[in-house]
Every structure is written in structure tokens, then in C-alpha cells.
Amino acid sequence: MKIKRRTVLKGLSAAALVPAVAARGNAQAGAKVLKFGAPLPLTGPLAPEGVRQRQGFDSWLTKVNETGGIKAGGDTYKVEIVYIDYQSNTPRAVQSAERLINEDKVQFLFAPFGSAAVKAVSAVTEKYGVPMVAPNAASEQVYDQGFKYLFGVYTPNHTLAQPMVKLVRQKRPNLKRLSILARNDLFPLAMAAEIEKAAKEEGLEIVYNEKYAIGTVDFSSPFTEMRSRRPEWIFISGYTNDLILARKQLREQGVTGDLLTMAVGPATAEFQNGVGALGEGVTTFAWWDKATKYKGVDIFGSAEAYADYFEKQYKILPDYSQAGSAACGVIFQLAIEKVGSIDRAKVRDAIAAMDLMTFYGPIKFGPSGQISSLKPPIIQLQDKVMKVVYPPEIAQAELRFGFK
């Protein structure tokens, strides 16, 4: 195969070629190299999420190599990331992880996108004793397997659902009727279940609660039924491409209400560009925002500095997905430099014991490997700008009601 611009085509099978890409910032000839692997959905329906994740990894990669690499004892390593596109297919994500470890000989792994894929791949990394940090997996079902080598930078789903419901009840006490629609996939279903649980605890009536199939492009049937139930608050969980379609079809079907909450995707440029003016008033969850103004000991130094650095690279502001991906690199770097070694077991132990402030926020993991130290913000698109509406200490605006 020809090699061009550090792009190496390698196949999982003769029937399905899947590219492995050595990212920018590779080491100079003769320098020590530390290889990370990253199976990502760079094509297929989850491509928007995979691309954002890669941008976050690459932002850290570029920064760490600009600042001299990772120091481990007496050695200094330039960083390389080997990417494999698993084409939004979870079984291929598992195959990709196997290949990255056994053929590409990566030392550590960044996780794929989404709770379902991370859960599947974590069995591979646990088998080989390879530390893996996940930027995009919040469901507790991912972390309840008793694995030692899996870590995640998203807090559990209830840490988003409960504050959201409480905020709505505080700002609109008379709001009673909630409608829920969720993609039939691990994270969207788990997120919907947490919203349902929190809503019932706060006395809301669930007037509609259904699933939609992966790959759905026509929401007319659920939205017709939903409209007949006259919800005041609509919650839809899925991924970016799903939610772009759903938001447009809500308008087409004449479904309106006091509040529309969608997760995940509305914080992204893809969603906002895809729906245009229909994004106004949409609320969503985040695990990070530039407005948090965290100041840390990592190579970025602060939330604002990371956002500025990322914007210079990609000409857009980073969302929590991109920031969380960069945080995965920061976590590995801080752990390696603390123990002065790239030994997998030692690095794993350093991550498990970590208790530090970073640009992403305070990093401390619970016994399951899921982060336990963040207070995720709630954000809403107002006047074409995403603004933090919770928590109050960093809020930039009040929660607004009404959408058409």
C-alpha cells in the first residue's frame, strides 16, 4: 500500500478496509515514541461524534508535542495516536481494539464513542491489562463490570437528569406534563430512564415514553402520538444526526411546548448549523464548558486557555466532547509523569489514585473508574449562543421557556 501524509490503510478483513491513521505531531526520526490507540466511528451515522472526539485527542496531541512530549523518569517521549475507523459498528470497534494492541503495539488506549461501544471494548482492554480512558460514556452500566483498567471522564447520567428536573420545577412550578423519546441504544435509554425517575420524584406526569429504532429517519408516527398527549416539556435522547432530524420534524408535525431538551448533540456546531433557527431555546446537558473557568496543573492551564487553543486549531469553540477527549490525554500524561514510567499497571494505579485540578475540572475517580468529581453544567441555545443556565455559580443566563 502507498503511504501518503502518514495515512496507512490496513484492513480488518478483505471485505472491509478500515483505515489506521497516525495523527499529526508524530515524533521525529530517532526520538522515543509513545503510541496511543483510538478506535473511532469516523464514518457511518456516528461520524459527527467520532470526528469531534478525534479533534479533542488531536488538540492534546499537538499541545503535548509542542511542549516537549511526555517525561517518564529519565526518558522523554513524543506522542503518536493510531486511529482506526470502525465505521459506527460496535463489533468492529472490538476488532479494532484487538488490532491496536496486538498489531499496532499501542501502549495505552483512548476509548471509542458511546456507552455501548466502550462497554464492549473494555472487555478487550481488561483482558490485556491496557489502561483505557473514555471521553464519551456516562452510563453506569459501563462501569459496573468490576474492571480495573477502565476510566471515564463523564459523571453518571443521574448527575445531569436530577439537576435538570429540579431546575425546571424551580423555574416553572406549574409545569406538569413530560414526554420522553429515546433512541434504542445504551446511553440514550439510560439517560431517558434517569429523566423519568427524576421527573416522577418531582411529581411530573409522564404522558408519553417510547423508543425509536437506531437508523430512524422518519419521526412522524411518534411525534403525531406525542402531539396528541399535549406535553409541556419534551425530552429526546439520541445522537447528533438523530436530533437534527427530530428537531426539524417536530416543527413539521406542529409539536410545540414550554421546553425542549435534547441529549446529546445540541452543544455542537453540527447540530446548530443543521437546525438553524430551530435550535433557539433547546436545552441540553454538558460535562464541561468554557464558562466553568477551571484552572489546572495540566499543559493547558485553564478552561479558557484550552478553548482558545482549540479555536485556533479548528476555527470553532470546543464542546464538552472535544474537551473531554483532550482531558483523557491530560490524565494519561499526568499519571505517566507522576510515576515516571510507561508501565501499564503503574499508570493504571496512578490514574485510579488521581486527585488533581485540570482545565476540564477536578479529576478524581470513584471505585468503578467513573469520574466522581465534576458538577456538570446545563446549557441552552439563546440568541444563537449556547449559555450556561446551571449551576448558578457559573450561570450566564436564566432558563428560557417556549419553543415552536
Please report the domains of the chain, with CATH numbers, ordered by start residue.
7-155+290-364 (3.40.50.2300), 158-286+378-390 (3.40.50.2300)
Q: DSSP string covering 255-321, please?
A: --BSEEEEESSTTSHHHHHHHGGGGTT-EEE-S--GGG--B-SSSS-BHHHHHHHHHHHHSS---HH
* Average pLDDT of the residues in 256-265: 95
Which run of H or of E encompasses 98? helix 90-102
- Give the cell for residue 161: 437528569
Percent of the chain scored above 90 by pLDDT? 87
**Measured CA distances, 1 to 7, 10, 21, 38, 203 (Å):** 10, 9, 13, 22, 62
Q: Within 13 Å of residue 125, how many CA atoms lie on the same side as its CB?
A: 36
pLDDT score for 3: 25
Coil, strand or helix: which one is 180? strand
Phi and psi at 41, nearest 5°, equal: -85, 80
Question: Phi/psi zone of residue 13: left (φ > 0), alpha (ψ -120 to 50 degrees), beta?
Answer: beta
Kindly indicate the confidence band of residue 31, based on its pLDDT and cuts at 50, 70 and 90.
low
Kindly indicate the confidence band of residue 218, based on its pLDDT and cuts at 50, 70 and 90.
very high
Helices (H), strands (E): how many in the chain? 11, 17
Query: How many CB atoms lie under 10 A from the CB of residue 217?
Result: 8
CB 191 within 8 A of CB 160: yes
* Average pLDDT of the residues in 255-262: 97
* Average pLDDT of the residues in 122-128: 98
Kindly indicate the confidence band of residue 108, based on its pLDDT and cuts at 50, 70 and 90.
very high
pLDDT score for 241: 94
Mean pLDDT of the chain: 92
Cβ neighbourhood burial of 252 (10 Å; 0-12, 13-18, 19+): exposed
For residue range 35-91, what is the model confidence (pLDDT) as tens digits? 999 999 999 999 999 999 999 999 999 999 999 999 998 999 999 999 999 999 999
